């Protein structure tokens, strides 16, 4: 995956554990669902101009 962190933002599994080629393809069209630092499910809001995702512990990211 292109993002740094311990967990996959798409499936929530550890990056070192599985092959994430499918997750990387999904990431091109879908916003992240899991925090890459703590694996918590994020609150995602999709807008006409993009998206925002917020982890309760690590804050928000936008795309």
User: Which pLDDT belongs to residue 2?
Assistant: 45
Q: What pLDDT does 1 receive?
A: 39
Q: How many domains does the structure of the chain reveal?
A: 1
Q: Can you list the residues of the chain whose pLDDT is less than 70?
A: 1-3
pTM equals 0.82
So what's the pLDDT on residue 43? 96
User: 20 and 11 in contact (C-beta within 8 Å)?
Assistant: yes
The C-alpha atoms of residue 29 and residue 39 are separated, in whole angstroms, by 20
Q: What is the DSSP letter of 45?
A: E
Q: State which residues form the domain around 8.
A: 1-63
Cα 30 to chain centroid, rounded: 9
**pLDDT score at 3:** 53
pLDDT of residue 57: 92
């Amino acid at each position: 995956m292109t993002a740094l962190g311990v967990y996959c933002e798409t499936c929530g599994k550890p990056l070192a554990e599985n092959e994430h080629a499918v997750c990387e393809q999904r990431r091109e069209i879908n916003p992240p669902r899991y925090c890459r630092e703590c694996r918590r499910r994020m609150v995602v809001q999709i807008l006409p101009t993009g998206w925002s995702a917020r982890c309760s512990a690590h804050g928000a990211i936008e795309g």
